Chain A
Amino acid sequence: MMRTGMILGLALVAAPLDAQQTIAERLTGRVPAEIAALVQELGSAAAGRGLPVDPMIQKAIEGNAKAIPADRVASAIRGVFAQLDSAAAALRDAGVASPVDTVEIAAGGFAITAGLRGRDIAELARTGRPTSDVIVGLRVAGTLAAMGVPREETVRLVGTSLRAQHAPGELLALPGRVQSEMARGATPAQAAAGLARAAAAQSRHGPPPDRGRPPHPPAPPHP
């Protein structure tokens, strides 16, 4: 017990140092020194608040690759930090187990980048689904928002699908299904609303008879 406690204590002290070292290793030679220093600083703050660091490292590298001036890269990195912090706060408000999973926070940060708000994140997290499903739901919600589906319809569709206990594969199929409806002339809002109604009806009446069938029947054997 005592040995376990000592190891955990050492791990808690070592974790920020490891994070700092990892940040330095990942950014050396890839970004200007002032950007690396900023990410180090924000990375320490992020580690202390239980936020993921990778999205900020990615934004720094992206900005350098795109030849963006350092001041604008710094501003974008601070924006990423703020979005992650908002996502984490929303997930805590939703009563998600503490500490909040950093992958879930990153998924929430992406959803906020795409146009959702903190209360949308919280609503999806309150569906009572396992963390892994909520993570997929948040990513899909962000994708739908990026496709132009309004916030309300996005949250309704993904929330209904989560509550209907749709499998992650079914959640991931939602953007493609919305795209198909849009190709037939529906607006993003109409497409999402129609799918949300179908999901709600399905959760009331059970899955349609062909659910689970493979999209293509096996080919007959050659003679």
Chain B
Amino acid sequence: MTQHEFHPRVKQLLDGELTLADLPAELRAEGEEALRLLAAVDRSSVSVPAVTWRVMAAIERRRRRPALWWLAPAVAAAAAVVLLLGKPSTPPATVSATVVTVRFVLVAPGARQVSVAGTFNRWDPSATPLVRSGTADTWVATLALPPGEHQYAFVVDGARWVPDPAAPAVDDGFGRRNSVLTL
């Protein structure tokens, strides 16, 4: 997983939607660098029983404004404090103004289904399926996540928990590894 802020055209290159030749001259160096980094990630493959999975993940960070209805619970809570205490002694809690769009990409040859499960979806393997994209072996999901530290793993064919070898990982307490995403 990379946390580079690539130009949108370079991201299209990484997605296979463009080739280097399609990029304007001023972006080609950045495109080559992005491909070089991606190639470095690809080389860090790991083996899991009987199958070698090449996992790559690219992260796309875009700041987005939340919909106004997100503010409603905070406004209601602040109003409740005012009603209870007469006058709030401290300012009401601020609401995070950003979410981060994260793109998960997994290359899993032969997989029938792939999902991502983690702290952001209560570790539910059915909550966030990846969809096939581009080549048959590439699976993709895009999520809007709040800033913070998230742990996750890919779930292949509903049973095989695969950490993302392109991302940092920590002990999950069960003898396996969870990938880490800090936004």
- Decide if B168 touches A147 in the complex (CB within 8 Å): yes
Interface membership of A7, Cβ < 8 A: yes
Which residue on chain A has the smallest CB distance to residue B174?
A68
A30 CB to nearest chain B CB (Å): 8
Chain A residues with Cβ below 8 Å from B64 are none
A84 to B24 CA separation, bound complex (whole angstroms): 50
Q: A113-B170, A176-B2 are in contact. Are A143 and B176 (CB under 8 A)?
A: no
A204 CB to nearest chain B CB (Å): 27
- Decide if B182 touches A140 in the complex (CB within 8 Å): yes
- Decide if B168 touches A65 in the complex (CB within 8 Å): no
Measured as residues with beta carbon below 8 angstroms from the partner, the interface class of chain B is: 20 to 34
- Decide if B3 touches A173 in the complex (CB within 8 Å): yes
30 sample A-B contacts, Cβ–Cβ < 8 Å, listed by A number: A3-B86, A58-B122, A61-B123, A62-B123, A65-B117, A65-B124, A65-B125, A68-B174, A73-B174, A76-B172, A80-B173, A113-B171, A115-B170, A139-B148, A142-B182, A143-B180, A144-B168, A172-B183, A173-B3, A175-B3, A175-B182, A176-B3, A176-B4, A179-B3, A180-B4, A180-B37, A183-B37, A183-B40, A215-B5, A216-B7
Which residue on chain A has the smallest CB distance to residue B85?
A4
Looking at A7, A62, A113, A114, which has the most chain B CB atoms within 10 Å of its CB? A62
Interface residues of B in 154-175 (CB under 8 A from A): 161, 168-175
Chain B residues with Cβ below 8 Å from A206 are none
B149 CB to nearest chain A CB (Å): 5
Chain A residues with Cβ below 8 Å from B40 are 183
Looking at B37, B170, B183, which has the most chain A CB atoms within 10 Å of its CB? B170
- Decide if B180 touches A146 in the complex (CB within 8 Å): yes
Chain B residues with Cβ below 8 Å from A113 are 170-171
- Decide if B4 touches A143 in the complex (CB within 8 Å): no
A101 to B161 CA separation, bound complex (whole angstroms): 33
Chain A residues with Cβ below 8 Å from B171 are 113
Closest 9 CB pairs of A and B: A76-B173, A176-B3, A146-B168, A65-B123, A143-B182, A147-B168, A62-B123, A139-B149, A183-B40
B8 CB to nearest chain A CB (Å): 9
- Decide if A7 touches B168 in the complex (CB within 8 Å): no
Looking at A64, A113, A215, which has the most chain B CB atoms within 10 Å of its CB? A113
Measured as residues with beta carbon below 8 angstroms from the partner, the interface class of chain A is: 35 or more
Pick from A58, A72, A144: contact of B123, CB under 8 Å: A58
- Decide if B119 touches A76 in the complex (CB within 8 Å): no
Looking at B36, B122, B180, which has the most chain A CB atoms within 10 Å of its CB? B180
A62 to B23 CA separation, bound complex (whole angstroms): 43
Q: 0/1 per residue, A57-100, Cβ < 8 Å to B?
A: 01101111110100011011001100000000000000000000
Interface membership of B51, Cβ < 8 A: no
B22 CB to nearest chain A CB (Å): 15
Interface membership of B84, Cβ < 8 A: yes
Interface membership of A107, Cβ < 8 A: yes
**Other contacts beyond A66-B172, A142-B149: 17, CB < 8 A:** A58-B123, A61-B122, A62-B119, A66-B161, A72-B175, A75-B173, A107-B149, A114-B168, A139-B182, A143-B168, A146-B180, A172-B183, A175-B168, A176-B3, A179-B3, A180-B4, A215-B7
Chain A residues with Cβ below 8 Å from B183 are 172
A62 to B36 CA separation, bound complex (whole angstroms): 35
A107 to B149 CA separation, bound complex (whole angstroms): 8
Chain B residues with Cβ below 8 Å from A59 are 173
- Decide if A7 touches B36 in the complex (CB within 8 Å): no
B13 CB to nearest chain A CB (Å): 14
